[in-house]
Structure 1
Amino acid sequence: MNYILFAVPFFFLLIAIELLADRWRGLRTYRLSDALNSLSAGVLSTTSGLLTKGLAVLTYAIAWQHLALFEMSTQSLWVWVFAFVFYDFCYYWNHRLGHERNVLWAAHSVHHQSEDYNLSTALRQTSTGFIFGWIFYLPMAIAGVPPLVFLTVGALNLLYQFWVHTRHIPKLGWFEWIFITPSNHRVHHAQNPIYMDRNYGGVFIIWDRLFGTFQEELDEEPVVFGVTVPLASWNPLWANLQVYAHLWNDARHASSTWDKLRIWFMRTGWRPEDVARRYPMVKPDLATFRKFDVPLGRGRQWYAGLQFATYVVVGTWLLGVGEHWQVLPLVIGWSWMAFGLYAIGCWLENRSWALRLEVLRLLLNVPAVAALALWGGIELPQWAPWALAVYSLLSLIGLLGLRRAERLPQAA
């Protein structure tokens, strides 16, 4: 059962409730562009997962089949309890090393790039974590945890983590000693030096207390959210590539072959001495920190929000049916989603080419559906191409209306 698919409506319902709480309490924990960027990264991640999930499942199943030390039954309650705790233990080390090694941080950093902290941040997930993430859960396969149990407790672990991404819930007393809570997870998303690289657990905070990585949220040290090298973009593709690009540039400029190789696996932030000297990296001062933002008119904001809603609907549909597709239709579907989310990101950044890119995106909608049917062999409802054509036409009319209303050139 795909628990994440069934949870999607509840995610958005809780986000709506949090928005109401913002208004009621006079807080401003949401900004449209930041929230859309987080949600875009989440949609891209789930779509990418249809292509990459097989790696983790296949390697886990092979390890379980050939290396399992014990035979565990899916009918036994203790197996499920054991697996739930064991998964969180493995998650702790996956998460911790995701902060402590350059190449692993390159994947995980996506989740930390938002400079706001709200429930949309929980959905901001990486599309490249599959490269190394599967390794950390192989001990569960060797112990004998059946694949069905592994996949289920993994989904439950991820679902638990959703609710802790909020600023509206204070400390929870004794609960803070055992479980991950909004308070101790706010610490995890901070860029304050005292808070950085702390509180790695997914469900249980006990691992952090045991292994010396726990830090309490302090009243005298308000959390500043984000990363020390800001993304400064609303582009979900660049969000996934930013740290890889920085590492590649440093490796390319390093004079030592050994440095070119080891930079990927060194501690996060490590740079070759000669590269750091020639290409210093300036990090913002927290005392003068300002969140990244691009002014955008109300009409453009509404347009971006409505266009993104279309991708949420299509992405949810892909999540429901895509598990049974072959690789080619999945690649076509992923490409359509990735290009569209990229175009929305450029629109939010008010790029000079955003309007032309948006027109191109709309014109490619029907050909993309045709490619899915003709080359991908996917049988779609007869009304689907017509509905997409009408949507594209209405969007083009909306673009024309925006241009006429503004009567101003787009800023670069």
Structure 2
Amino acid sequence: MSYDNGSVLTSPSEFFEGVGRMFYLIDPKKTRFERIEDVPNFYVQSWPYFFTFMILEHIVLKLKGKRGIRLNDGITSFSNGMFLEGGRMVWRGAEFYAYTWIYDNWKMVDLPWDSTSTWCLAALGMDFCYYWMHRACHEIHVLWAQHQVHHTSEDFNMGVGIRQSVLQGWCGFVFYLPLALAIPPAQFLVHHQFSYLYMFWLHTEAVNRLGPLEYFLNTPSHHRIHHGSNPYCIDVNYGGVLIIWDKLFGTFREERDTDRIVYGLIYQQPSFNPLHLQTFYNKYVVDKYKEYTTWNHKLHAVFNRPSWKPEKYLRFQDMPEDPELFLRVKYDVVLPKWCTMYLLSHYALVLLGFYRLSVLHLTLSPIAVLAFVLYLLGSLTVFGMILDASPKAPFLELVRCLVLICATSLVPSIRLNMFSQMFYVSSAIFWFLFVYKTIVIKVEKKVE
């Protein structure tokens, strides 16, 4: 199962329709599809809007006297977003097969796919199931191991909306399967995308309260509480588009003017490496599983709350607030300006390659898609190691450049033009000189 990327923008009206999708302001008649293959990839189409919104947010924050979006943290968010989309390209929508099978074989009602009522019911059902999926991802340890990627940033900006787990789709899809008893798969896929687009702009400190909308919609004010590591921020405000589910099921907390929210994980992992952020907590869950000797304890370690212990324990949200929390400093690494420019130029090329692959991947063989995705995700990992000033990064960047040079020389269909070849060759030569200490680079690690 798959869905295409749709067409590029051809008119101002299409641009404004794209902006509207970010706020769930959509004409149902234009987003009703009979087959799941006809559903555009609205998520990929929205990447230009992601960039635009982040630039605007940065400007607003600077005008308010705040730092704005940190480059290293913003790059890390985008890298994790590409991990998610890379995974989707590899398994080509396979996580939706179960939904389609249940609908084809077990649906209880036959709702018309071209009905506005069906469209609205799908939106409401999707949001209800999202609430329970999101809540489970915070309250079941093995699911939290995937979802925690989204909470690793010590900042709170729109880039965090893109920072997602590559595996969470597989862990969370079961919560949406009851919808398959009634909602056509194409309608489900449409609202699955719109829901995540809406939640992108909720991740910001640039927007204050939104008046009466706060009563029933999820807003930046509500979602700021959700992302805090303060005890009063734990396990609240799980809603996606609507906040009414939290109010109905007792998990709502309103932001107060006196709140000072510290973002990130309770036990923060200082890194800009997306591969590390995607995997480190899974290792922790495995270690907790191995730590216990009885099956009862092992199962609790995997499927109970992240705070669970065999002896009497306090839930994180019930713990007293530690004053040291407000003294926690943000992880940061200051790179030389030339290194930052190098990173940005190569990151831009990877972004371009990722976009081209997202457009063409359905026409390529699964092996080719896997190879391209692994190279691109490997590139993002190396960039993260550079941002961390890892001593292994120079050698791995040399290898990355050499792999691309060799691959594009051997495969005519992906051969680079002369300028690109020289760019990567000169990059490889530079890192070769660095690895062998002909050039010495100093970086300054600091905390904010």
TM-score, normalised relative to structure 1: 0.89
Q: Which amino acid aligns with 2:425?
A: L
The unaligned stretches of length 5 or more in structure 1 are: 275-282, 374-378
Counterpart of 2:425 (choices 385, 393, 408) is 393
Instruction: Indicate the residue corresponding to 2:135 in structure 1.
Output: 96
Per-residue CA shift, 1:280-315, capped at 9, x if unaligned?
Answer: xxx993132111122322222222222222221111
1:266 aligns with 2:297: no
2:12 is matched with none
Code of the aligned partner of 1:46 = E
1:354 counterpart = 2:383: no
**Shift in alpha-carbon separation, 1:21–1:406, aligned structure 2, 3 A:** farther
How far the C-alpha of 1:402 sits from its partner, in A, is 8.9
Secondary structure of 1:117's partner? Answer: coil
Look up the equivalent residue of 1:357 and give its one-letter code: L
Q: 1:250: how far off?
A: 1.6
Q: Residue 202 of structure 2 is aligned with which of 161, 164, 186?
A: 164
Correspondence 1:236-275 to 2 at 5 A: 236-272=274-310
Structure 2 portions without partners, runs of 5+: 1-39, 313-321
Q: Specify the alignment match of 1:22 in structure 2.
A: 61
Distance 1:23 1:224 in 2: 20
CA distance in 1, matches of 2:419, 2:297: 54
Find the aligned partners of 1:206 and 1:370 in 2 and give their Cα distance.
57
In structure 1, distance between residues paired with 2:49 and 2:442: 40
Could you tell me how far 1:337 is from its partner in structure 2? 1.4
Alignment-mate amino acid for residue 11 of structure 1: F
Secondary structure of 1:225 counterpart: coil
Residues 381-404 of structure 1, C-alpha deviation per residue, up to 9 Å, x if partnerless? 6x5465652331243466589999
2-side partners of 1:73 and 1:55: how far apart?
A: 24
Letter in 1 for 2:300: R
Q: What is the SS of the residue equivalent to 1:197?
A: coil
Any residues of structure 2 matched to 1:85-234 within 5 Å, and which? Answer: 85-142=124-181, 144-234=182-272
Paired with 2:45 and 2:351, the residues of 1 have a C-alpha distance of 14
What SS does structure 2 have at the residue aligned with 1:251?
helix
Change in CA separation of 1:218 and 1:397 when aligned onto 2, cut-off 3 Å: farther
Q: Secondary structure at the match of 1:357?
A: helix
Give the match's secondary structure for 2:356.
Answer: helix
Question: Which residue pairs with 1:75 in the alignment?
Answer: 114
Distance 2:148 2:408 in 1: 33
Q: CA offsets per residue over residues 55-104 of structure 1, 9 Å max, x none?
A: 32211110100110000111100000110111000000000100000011
CA–CA distance in structure 2, aligned partners of residues 345 and 182 of structure 1: 28
CA distance in 2, matches of 1:218, 1:209: 17
Query: Residue 335 of structure 1 corresponds to which residue in structure 2?
Result: 374
Quick one: distance in 2 between partners of 1:270 and 1:76? 46
Q: 1:370 to 1:286 in 2, by over 3 A?
A: same
Question: Residue deviations 1:113-163, cap 9 Å, x none?
Answer: 000011111110110113321101111101x21111111111111111111
Aligned equivalents of 2:88 and 2:419: distance in 1? 27
CA contact 2:300–2:308 (8 Å) conserved in 1: no
1:380 aligned partner = 413
Q: Judging changes above 3 Å, is the alpha-carbon distance between structure 1 residues 247 and 258 closer, same or farther for their aligned structure 2 residues?
A: same
* Contact preservation (8 Å) 1:179, 1:206: yes
Q: 1:298 to 1:226 in 2, by over 3 A?
A: same
In the alignment, what sits opposite 1:280? none
- Aligned residues of 1:365 and 1:389 also touching (Cα < 8 A): no
Cα distance 1:112–1:284, how it changes in 2: closer, same or farther (>3 A)? farther
Compared CA separation, residues 129 and 387, structure 1 to 2 (3 A): farther
2:36 paired residue number: none
- Check whether the contact 1:86–1:140 (CA below 8 A) recurs between aligned residues: yes
* Code of the aligned partner of 1:81: C
d(CA) in 1 for partners of 2:52 and 2:336? 26
**In structure 2, what is the equivalent of residue 314 of structure 1?**
353
Query: Structure 2: which amino acid aligns with 1:43?
Result: M
Q: Would the aligned equivalents of 1:32 and 1:301 in 2 still touch at CA under 8 Å?
A: no
Whole-Å separation in 2 of the counterparts to 1:228 and 1:37: 19
- Farther off after superposition, 319-328 or 211-220: 319-328
- Distance in 1, matches of 2:442 and 2:46, equals 42
SS of aligned partner of 1:161 = helix
Q: Is contact 2:333-2:444 (8 Å) kept?
A: no
Match of 1:52 in 2: 91
Indicate conservation of the 8 Å contact 1:235/1:346, yes or no. Answer: yes
> How many percent identity over aligned positions?
31
**1:319 offset after TM fit, Å?**
1.7
Q: Hey, what's the Cα distance between the residues in 2 that align with 1:94 and 1:44?
A: 20
Against the structure 1 CA distance between its residues 369 and 208, is the aligned structure 2 distance closer, same or farther, given a 3 Å change threshold? farther
Cα distance in 2, alignment partners of residues 284 and 239 from structure 1? 26
Report deviation, 1:19.
Answer: 1.9
Could you tell me how far apart the structure 1 residues matched to 2:443 and 2:229 are? 33
Q: Quickly say closer, same or farther: Cα 1:53–1:108, change in 2 above 3 A.
A: farther
Partner Cα distance (1:5, 1:156) in 2: 12
> Aligned in 2, Cα 1:410/1:224: closer, same or farther, shift over 3 Å?
closer
Whichever residue aligns with residue 185 of structure 1, its letter is H
Secondary structure (helix, strand or coil) at the match of 2:176 reads helix
Give, as a single letter, the amino acid of the residue that structure 1 aligns with 2:50. F
**2-structure distance, mates of 1:272, 1:407:** 51
CA distance in 2, matches of 1:389, 1:340: 17
